[in-house]
Amino acid sequence: MIKNVLNGKEAYAVCLKEDFKAIGAIELKLNGHTDMTDRDDECEMGYWLGKPFWGRGIMPEAAREMLRHAFEDVGMTKVWCGYYDGNTKSKRVQEKVGFQFQWTTEGVDVPLMHEKRTGHVSAITKEEWLAKQ
């Protein structure tokens, strides 16, 4: 995943605070590396966590910090995110950190899996994020 997918300029390892071992990754996919926007002040958030670490609220914590980083450090005005139909864990992460549902698209190409799926798109603006702080 880290080598092939989450490998851009704004990609980070997700580490446990106890031992700093990498257990996942999170990325802001900048313009040119996402099909969700063609603006330089918008990006897409993507994330992945090793299965033994699911269900502890780790990715919501990482995603909250990445939103702060996106808006305060990188100068973003909007962050997009998405999940494929059925991935309720990812849907919950997005809801918990403040992403708002935008629309659903049928038959989205998933090149790495050589298949088509239904995709749900969400987003949060800097104003919406600031109002939650």
Ligand X SMILES: CC(C)(COP(=O)(O)OP(=O)(O)OC[C@H]1O[C@@H](n2cnc3c(N)ncnc32)[C@H](O)[C@@H]1OP(=O)(O)O)[C@@H](O)C(=O)NCCC(=O)NCCS
Contact positions vs ligand X (CB under 6 A): 47-49, 54-60, 83, 87, 89-90, 92-93
| CB-side neighbour CA atoms (13 Å) of 44 | 19
Of residues 9 and 56, the one with the C-beta less far from ligand X? 56
> C-beta of 121: minimal distance to ligand X in Å?
11
9, 84, 78, 97 alpha-carbon torsion, rounded to 10°: -100
Kindly state the helix (H) or strand (E) to which residue 115 belongs, with its residue range.
strand 115-125
Nearest distance from C-beta of residue 38 to ligand X, angstroms:
21
Nearest-approach distance from CB 58 to ligand X, in angstroms: 4
* 63 vs 76 by CB, closer to ligand X: 63
